[in-house]
Chains A and B, each alone.
Chain A
Amino acid sequence: MMSTVAATETTLTKKRHLLDLQDWSAEEILALFDTSDVMAQVMQRTIKKVPALQGFTVGTLFFENSTRTRLSFERAARAQSADVISFAAGGSSMSKGESLKDTLKTIDAMQSDLYVVRHAVAGVPYQLAKWTDAIIVNAGDGRRAHPTQALLDAYTFSREFNGFDGFKGKKLAIIGDVLHSRVARSNMTLWSKLGAEVSLCGPSTVLPKELEFAGVAISDNIFEAVEGAHAVMTLRLQKERMQAGLLPSIAEYQTRYQLSEAVMRLAHPEALIMHPGPINRDVEIAGVLADSERSVIEKQVANGVPVRMAVLYTLLVGKK
């Protein structure tokens, strides 16, 4: 009967989704980071489990395969004693004669309180939010958004940057295939909202000029983009981009856009190196940099769990 009680509580609190970061205020995000600190402490204990979400059911709906993100969310749910049901399907649901709405309705009949949704096409979490009473957390939709990745990136920076005193006056450089990157879009939105300056850099074929707005600069020159940056994030370069005629060759990309030690010399002396993973060692980032002391790539993965715990907790239980 716990789930009935829990469901009632959910309907009593104002229903909130995490579709993208546009509709979250800077204060709410910083509060989420404080909750993440508490969750990080839980993950340091011998028994890494609290009863915070006991009685809640979290459904992971992965229409696009992603083992890492799914594992991270499932760990975040179970560490708070929520039940987890998982759905994985590739391709279009219509190939089975079912619309996206039918698929959701079927799963929805099993009564989850919150769905974690990943889909290859932008907007699906928004569509699902219209068709269910449950809470939707976007775990990546097409090129559009990957809000929890951006949250864990900014959280990692705020807790790892030496003498961190707020996002104002900080500069984040994002290097790579910005066009196809939901990580870039969400980080751009989040960091500029928190007051940081964002510099997007990549070959002009994958750097949409439309993304330039107040607080976000674009440049096809990596030296210019990295200069004075407090955090440098490189994006994974998909090999298909060469076949699609968007980039000439890996060699040319390495020469012009690889994050190298020479480039990093222009960054702030204490700048952190970030990557959403999985990395193409020595393609978008020099292997030595990925392994260097300034790299927080593994920290990002580790922080994924407490940040997602905080997201689930905040959305399901709310601020207490």
Chain B
Amino acid sequence: MRTVIKNARLLDSEADYGLNDLYLKDGLIEGYNLGGEVTEGDDAAGKTVTPAFIDLHTHLREPGQEVKEDLCSGLSAAAAGGFGTVISMANTNPTVDEPGLVADLIAKAKAVGQARLKPAAALSHGLKGELLTDFAALKTAGAVMITDDGIPVADSHLMRRACEYAAPLGLIIQTHSEEPSLRQNGVMNEGMVSQRLGLPGNPSSAEAIMIYRDCELALMTGARVHIAHISSRRGMQVVEWFKEQGAPVTAEVTPQHLTLTDEALAGFDPIFKVAPPLRTQEDVDYLRDALKRGVVDNIGTDHAPHTQAEKEQDLVAAPFGIANIELAFALLYTELVKTGELSLVDLLKLLQSGPARIMNWPTPKLKPGQVADLVVLELEQSYPVEAANFKSKAKFSPWDGQKLTGWPVATFIGGKQVFQRDS
């Protein structure tokens, strides 16, 4: 099979190749402006083609929570968001803590044929924070990351041993850094707004303290530690301090922590309840500044779907999480690039070469011979978010109805088009 994408602006995080006809053959990028017979072709005039994004932080809910999301809906949603590869989190039911479960997920995801799946495996059995899982066997089965994401590892000794054991295996440990005894039952950021609203707060010091511990253990053991979804100025400052000292740590932020504040909770809508919580404008400004200074290694979505009924409970009972993978790029493009805060190339780095470098994967490029995982972006037009049309099962959104610019209009995985936006 041979495909051409005509008249597209070709761009990756390393170079702008200008306007070209891009030829794909047998799942790979064949070359530019080659001419000749093609099986399929599309004109992408006015659009931008770039390597599909990589999300290191996706909740796909399978196995066991298919009422919220499953591999088919979740990986289709990922592709619709322009993501070619996602790492699924292990906090499912049962938790992904056995090699067989990892292998199952990979096999099922292949059959789905949407975005590529690389599963993460649990750090402890049942995410209980007591016994380490079989890291080596999990890796052999295909797990690419070890994490108890969703539940912070409270026991520092267990975290130390996990780091020591993972280091020689070359496995990356991803942490959900919040000190549980300080976080308590907080449902939102602790501060002026939580006190005014009378809701139990979760202070940013709970995040900063745990990030300190996790970075210190990375420095001590030499393990590669990836700090997920950093939400606060204090938390980011700790990571920066450790990076300056050469600790093998990397830093992730999410679209929601870059664009929303705790003021969003003023209407008491649990749709904005997320862990770690939305912080203050000062924190958002600091995270954006950290992006510009290159301190942040990747943007992970932390796409965390739930059912509408679960989110229509009171703020204590409702679960944590925002589903966002389909609009993540448009949101970031609108809020960061269109406003002039970040260049398009810098945003692409955070979604392509950044996550690839963290995982020690090849840098996604638009070079002949590279795997043809591509996204076609419409960077000029604005369209409102239509949550009702999401591929994800969570058909509601904090940004529903909001006009955003920079929507993916087509996604190719291994040279095959898996998503086409309805115009």
| Chain A residues with a Cβ under 8 A of chain B | 92-94, 99-102, 119-124, 126-127, 141-145, 182, 185, 208, 210-211
Contact = CB atoms under 8 A, between A and B. Distances in A.
A145 B196 contact: no
B349 to A, nearest CB: 38
B169 interface: no
Q: Give the size category of B's interface with A.
A: 10 to 19
Contact of A99 (B197, B198, B309): B309
Given A122-B197, A122-B315, 19 more contacts: A93-B313, A94-B313, A99-B312, A100-B312, A102-B312, A120-B314, A120-B316, A121-B316, A121-B317, A123-B199, A124-B268, A124-B314, A126-B267, A127-B268, A144-B197, A145-B198, A208-B195, A210-B196, A211-B196
28 contacts: A93-B313, A99-B309, A100-B312, A100-B313, A100-B314, A101-B309, A102-B309, A120-B316, A121-B199, A121-B314, A121-B316, A122-B197, A122-B199, A122-B268, A122-B315, A123-B197, A123-B199, A124-B268, A124-B314, A126-B268, A127-B312, A127-B314, A141-B198, A142-B198, A143-B199, A182-B198, A185-B198, A211-B196
B313 A123 contact: no
B191 interface: yes
B314 A119 contact: yes
B309 A123 contact: no
A210 B268 CA distance: 19
B195 A210 contact: yes
Contacts of A145: 198
B289 interface: no
Nearest to B319: A94
For the complex of A and B, 5 pairs with smallest distance between CB atoms: A123-B268, A144-B198, A143-B198, A121-B314, A210-B195
B271 to A, nearest CB: 11
A126 B267 CA distance: 7
Nearest to A141: B198
**Residue of B197, B267, B313, B314 contacting most chain A CB atoms (<10 Å):** B314
A180 to B, nearest CB: 9
B269 interface: yes
Interface of B: 191-192, 195-200, 267-269, 309-310, 312-317
A172 to B, nearest CB: 19
B199 A142 contact: yes
B195 A123 contact: no
A121 B200 CA distance: 9
A121 B310 contact: no
Given A126-B267, A126-B268, A210-B192, A99 B310 contact: yes
Nearest to A145: B198
B297 to A, nearest CB: 34
A266 to B, nearest CB: 28
Contacts of B309: 94, 99, 101-102
Contact of B314 (A102, A123, A182, A210): A123
Contacts of A127: 268-269, 312, 314
B313 A99 contact: yes
Nearest to B192: A210
A123 B313 CA distance: 11
Contacts of B199: 121-123, 142-144
A203 B376 CA distance: 59
A22 B303 CA distance: 35
Nearest to B268: A123
A93 B310 CA distance: 11
A141 B314 CA distance: 11
Nearest to A211: B195
A98 B35 CA distance: 60
A143 B187 CA distance: 13
A287 to B, nearest CB: 30
